[in-house]
Structure 1
């Protein structure tokens, strides 16, 4: 049983079928094919306006190229200190930004608050020796599995407009947040001030399906060239675009995310029924962050259940893991099986019962 990530499962059947259909015959190369054109039109429909769409193969490429478009080499991009762009991408965003820096701020559940962002911006000296803030990036869902509400996104968007910052959203788990909020893609992005989005599908049923969605035309002007220089204009681009066609058809993307979130809620509720188990923060999408006894951690591992330990950096000030406990992350996916979740809960309950009896 593997709860380490939503990247550990393969692609969904509709996505694979779409690739197989796109594989037949010949088509224009480098993203100029009819499938790519159809999918770009589909993005326009989904976001209720004309957008610029650039297909890439990885989330790292999407984030790095998006931020390179949004932040000049002398600028500063504000993000959470545990954001994927600052913690998990080997400096790729800063590399592609050609010297621009990422500034990480604290926040519970790896979320930025408007108040903390404003305080940080006001603290920066205005002299030329200080890199000026030029961008803000949030992860939706956050690295702590938390979802920004529409009001929270709008507040950050207002700050960006006031201070002249480009607003980037890392949407590796975009649709998990979307179904959690019950809103539309437009309501979660440009209507709240988001300028550029890294739209992820790989974690939710794609094979390698990521896109940069741009709402501000000036940020899109050089992205073709940036993508080419980064090796992200794929010769058989139709096979990347086709994944989105299978992904969007019949609301498959929404169904996948609803299932993943439902499995996480089921897991979360089950864990809260166990003694000496609590959550670091609420479960809002498809990631669960329980604080469990170290003895339970050992029992789960002994049963062959895979997951990752997690950092305590984003805990509330009043929360401490404690000497005999550990904070872990459990992730569910579009392919998670209810029987596996039940089995994890059974192992956890049995392990705690044995410990109490000894």
Structure 2
């Protein structure tokens, strides 16, 4: 009963199989392998963007910060939600890889709002040499609290950015889960909604370690190649990244796994609500933020069902006190394990 993170789940067998198949003979290094040609074509097709520049890296942090660095000058600021991944989980990598661009945090308890973004951008208006200049806007989809921006919400945010002539980056570590939740196309959730570059996540959704960066403006391609190399994220044996992404895209495996994770999350959410848990945020993809009594947490911990993120001291205090928890479902989570977890309520 492991709900700590979708990073903790296994790699899908089809992805392992494709990596094994790639592990024969020789292939050109540094992204010049034949598999990468197939991946590039597939992603262009999926995004309905025949001119898009497509690259692979091994981590979500690399995908986010290298792509953002292509749009953020050292004297600029990147606008992002207060609880975005680039703020809370990337150890100042955006600042480092951009050569010093700062982050301007948009106050929010979940989703960034157009009004809050507009106010933050306005504070950077005027071009004073004494302040950081306005730079790219970064939107997280799915948010760090498990919510999904609707297409209308995305377009409202990108409209604010475009009014200020600012580029838009989409952190799509859980991109597939958002697509599965919205039932839209990748094009609709990206360039058709005003997004300039997207991190298309794979690692959290059944891959071993691969993320795609898709630039809808191919003019950024050469700069990204230079930044990827200079930043030590250009793999020599790149075919193993390509093999993962090739399997991930074949027969919509990426979407099938996201649907499985979202479905497992919905089952778990329904069960928690039935047992009196309180939802902190409405689950819309594969993450749950909920509160339930300390006594239940104690039972779960004692039974071994302790692999989830817990907010508070579970050992001491009133058994009826509601403590927060984060539970994340991955593609492999079974109904049996969900029901086992719920049986302790």
What TM-score does the superposition give when structure 1 sets the normalisation length?
Answer: 0.91
Equivalent residues of 1:134, 1:164 under 8 A apart: no
**Partner residue, 1:174:** 175
* Residue 244 of structure 1: how far off its partner (Å): 1.0
Q: Secondary structure at the match of 1:25?
A: coil
**Partner residue, 1:336:** 333
CA distance in 1, matches of 2:215, 2:124: 28
Deviation sequence 1:267-298 (CA, Å, 0-9, x none): 000111113x2101211000011111222222
Deviation sequence 1:123-172 (CA, Å, 0-9, x none): 34522211111111111100000001001111111111111211001100
CA distance in 1, matches of 2:49, 2:298: 51
**Partner residue, 1:327:** 324
Q: Aligned runs of 1:109-188 on 2, under 5 Å?
A: 110-124=110-124, 126=126, 127-188=128-189
Equivalent residues of 2:65, 2:98 under 8 A apart: yes
Q: Aligned runs of 1:264-303 on 2, under 5 Å?
A: 264-275=265-276, 277-303=277-303
Q: Secondary structure at the match of 1:155?
A: helix
CA distance in 2, matches of 1:86, 1:49: 30
Q: Aligned runs of 1:1-358 on 2, under 5 Å?
A: 1-50=1-50, 51-108=52-109, 110-124=110-124, 126=126, 127-275=128-276, 277-305=277-305, 306-309=307-310, 324-348=321-345
CA distance in 2, matches of 1:132, 1:295: 51
Equivalent residues of 1:11, 1:205 under 8 A apart: yes
Equivalent residues of 2:104, 2:120 under 8 A apart: no
* Residue 217 of structure 1: how far off its partner (Å): 2.5
CA distance in 2, matches of 1:264, 1:224: 37
Q: Secondary structure at the match of 1:326?
A: strand
Equivalent residues of 1:279, 1:291 under 8 A apart: yes
Deviation sequence 1:30-54 (CA, Å, 0-9, x none): 1111111111011110000121111
CA distance in 1, matches of 2:134, 2:302: 48
Equivalent residues of 1:141, 1:171 under 8 A apart: yes
Unpaired runs of at least 5, structure 1: 312-322, 349-358
Equivalent residues of 2:125, 2:134 under 8 A apart: no
Q: Secondary structure at the match of 1:203?
A: helix
* Residue 105 of structure 1: how far off its partner (Å): 1.6
Equivalent residues of 2:57, 2:210 under 8 A apart: yes
Alignment size in residue pairs: 335
Equivalent residues of 1:197, 1:213 under 8 A apart: yes
* Residue 310 of structure 1: how far off its partner (Å): 5.0
Equivalent residues of 2:140, 2:172 under 8 A apart: yes
Q: Secondary structure at the match of 2:343?
A: helix
Q: Secondary structure at the match of 2:54?
A: strand
Q: Secondary structure at the match of 1:70?
A: coil
CA distance in 2, matches of 1:219, 1:142: 26
Q: Secondary structure at the match of 1:280?
A: strand
CA distance in 2, matches of 1:78, 1:36: 32
